[in-house]
Chains A and B, each alone.
Chain A
Amino acid sequence: MNLILTIIRKELLDSLRDRKTLMSAIVIPAIAMPLLMLGIIALQKGLNDKEKNKTLKVALVNAPADFKKIIADPKITLIQNAALTAAKDSVASESFDALLAFPAQSTATDTSGQVALDFYFKSTNVMVSDRMKEKISLYKEALLADRFQKLQLPKDLLQPVKVNNQDLASTKEQLGVYLGGFLPYFFLLFCFIGCMYPAIDLFTGEKERGTLETLLTVPASRLQILIGKMATIALVGVVAACMTLGGMFVAMRVSTEIPAEVLKTVSDLLSIKFVLMLFAMLFPLSIFFAGILSAITMRASTFKEAQSYVTPLTFVIIVPAMIALMPGIKLSWATTWIPILNISLATKEIVAGTIIPLQYVAIVLSLILFAFLALLISVRQFSKEGNILK
């Protein structure tokens, strides 16, 4: 045990002095990711605000007086009585934002018929379309109200059923679906990436540099050396996952865009129980990653070769985590035994507070089983002379 601890201590010191490991396990998940998240939120909001406040140039053809009244807005410049073809070209070339062409002779009367309105716009300008549809909708409502009044009909004639939505899902449960869905996506990905660089460095890198040969001449057994290295890789993976979670929570607290109610629920989530439940899954998962990555990287002769083996695996991690994001995919006894998918779905249920204890225990046991299998595979690979010597 002392020898294993000696190896872990040295490997941790060595790994934490490696820039690649530092970047992938600490800097990117704890700092870059939250900054990126806050940046994207701020950028999105900025763009939305800009588009909302942008003065639109809208051409009108044969527009009735009622419509002109409704569309009148300080943030809309109207080009009255435009020529249809020229105006269409202007919308296509984005000189104008939209064109609303009414028929010269409308078949609609005060109480019946339809106004055929041609709305020209570019679907690439999402906000323009939304803003104009809002105005058109106001015009439709005004016409309807006028007709109902003239025909002396009640306004609720077209609404025989009035739906009162009563959402019984608590904020916590709603968060389970949204936050609980994308949380594991990030922490699993960074846990894997966090394991990736130390694995390449501690096996392929050491083999390439010849230090593994020296290490194998010490009285520690190969199993002790392997466990020491794997434990270091798994620890760095757990650190990376924690950094991701910590960074995301900090980013949420700093962001001014997240409603106070959601923030409070997120703060309540960070209980000792939640952290312990998450860690009980994260530790065996990280050992599973470490075992698989060790077995693969020790087969590679060069750093580049190892990278080419390991990088595509990132997609293997992303896919089950993405499946967990799909609506309708829920934790069941079948999904309990699928690694990565099980931890993703379980995180959703833990966040929502709806996890079934027995299923949670089964997930932890299945993750321990997979971690053990990964360890066995790497032990087998480490015992092959061709894998450990140049």
Chain B
Amino acid sequence: MLERNFSLIPICIMIKLEQVSKIYSLSKKQQQEQQTNSNSIAAVDRLSFGCQPGRIFSLLGPNGAGKTTTLRMIATLLQPSSGSIVVDGFDTQTQGQEVRRSIGFLTGSTHLYERLTPEEIVKYFADLHQVAPADFNRRKDELFTQLGINSFRKKRIGQLSTGMKQKVSIARTMIHNPSVVIFDEPTSGLDVITAANIINLIRTCKEEGKTVIFSSHIMSEVDLLCDELAIIHKGQLVYSDTMEAFRNLSSGKSLTETFINIVTGQ
């Protein structure tokens, strides 16, 4: 197994996970369903990796590998059962609010309030992030123009198409100019055009010097975007290196094939 030596990673790390585990207890019914005698299961098992500032880090893994759980722990939505996570210098367990000030969080399914308008939603999240009014107006105008939201800014979300909703989700995620952006399978279930918006956003984030961590199982996206990657399987880290090293490892084979080989241990 090829793993990075963390002692060699520079101290300047934007996201750092050390021996992070997330254990869930299982009910009798769940034990029967999962055919196990153990009354607990590790969704994430002693996971360690780091993301450098201004780089795009991809978290890869098959369904149920623990990608969403890991990203949710980074975003402070879940607390690790053991280990520590530091984001932008803040501990997620003791400095959750500071961590949330630094992050933007976006998932594939658009999570928006159906009865509000794009303008109201973006203002709401700007207020929650305590963005100063002048900064808000400037940033909102920039984002609305870039994403082409102006034509439907006063329509309720319930009346918008999936693509339009995704644009609003992007504006909502970026309104406070986060230094770390977390994407949980951001293009999952989206059409090609809407997915392209997300790909462009991830690129823009990198250009702006933001740190991006995203989960995916679409190899072409990973190849196109990321600088570093980690592959997890059954909650454990099975591979972590630069994208370049991963490409070299694949020599002659497709990236998907290499990914499958790593996951299956071949």
Contacts and interface: CB of A to CB of B under 8 A. Distances in A.
A385 B72 CA distance: 11
A216 B78 CA distance: 10
B116 A214 contact: no
A210 B114 CA distance: 12
Contacts of A213: 77, 105, 107, 111
Given A14-B113, A389-B72, A216 B77 contact: yes
B112 interface: yes
Contact of A211 (B72, B76, B112): B112
Interface stretch (B127-135, B228-236, B241-249): B127-135
B100 A210 contact: no
* Most chain B beta carbons < 10 A, residue from A6, A214, A216, A389: A214
B76 A217 contact: yes
A218 B130 CA distance: 10
B125 A218 contact: yes
A15 to B, nearest CB: 9
Contacts of A115: none
A214 B78 contact: no
B75 interface: yes
B129 to A, nearest CB: 6
Contacts of A18: 115
Interface in A190-231: 209-211, 213-221
A219 B128 contact: yes
Contacts of A373: none
A3 interface: yes
Contacts of A220: 97, 128
A218 B77 contact: no
Identify which of A2, A10, A17, A209 gathers the most chain B CB atoms within 10 Å of its CB: A10
A210 B72 CA distance: 13
Contacts, number: 69
Interface in A212-268: 213-221
Interface in B97-119: 97-98, 100-101, 103-105, 107, 109, 111-116
Interface in B123-157: 124-125, 127-130, 156
Contacts of B77: 213, 216-217, 385, 389
Q: Point out which of B98, B100, B127 has the most chain A C-beta atoms below 10 A from its C-beta.
A: B127
A145 interface: no
Contacts of B78: 385, 389
A13 interface: yes
Majority SS at the chain A contact face:
helix
B79 interface: yes
Contact of A218 (B72, B114, B115, B129): B129
A13 B111 contact: no
B120 interface: yes
B168 to A, nearest CB: 12
A293 B103 CA distance: 32
Given A6-B124, A385-B79, A219 B101 contact: yes
Contacts of A13: 116, 120
Chain B, interface residues (CB within 8 Å), range = 20 to 34
Nearest to A215: B128
B116 A6 contact: no
A92 B177 CA distance: 84
Contact of B113 (A2, A6, A211): A211
A14 B115 contact: yes
A221 B96 CA distance: 8
A219 B100 contact: yes
A217 B100 contact: yes
Interface in A308-350: none
A217 B125 CA distance: 10
Given A13-B116, A389-B77, A210 B107 contact: yes
Nearest to B98: A219
Contacts of A211: 111-113
B111 A217 contact: no
A203 B48 CA distance: 34
A219 B97 contact: yes
Contacts of B116: 10, 13-14, 17
Contacts of A221: 96-97
B130 A219 contact: yes
A52 B172 CA distance: 69
Contacts of B98: 219
Nearest to B75: A217
A103 to B, nearest CB: 77
Contacts of A389: 72, 77-78
A376 to B, nearest CB: 20
B127 to A, nearest CB: 4
Given A6-B124, A6-B127, A217 B97 contact: no
Contacts of B100: 217-219
Nearest to B121: A10
A326 B76 CA distance: 53
Interface of A: 2-3, 6-7, 10, 13-14, 17-18, 209-211, 213-221, 385, 389
15 contacts: A2-B127, A3-B127, A3-B128, A6-B127, A10-B116, A10-B120, A210-B107, A211-B112, A217-B77, A217-B100, A217-B105, A218-B100, A218-B125, A219-B128, A220-B97
- The 6 A-B residue pairs with the shortest CB-CB distance, nearest first, are A210-B111, A17-B115, A218-B128, A217-B105, A6-B127, A214-B111
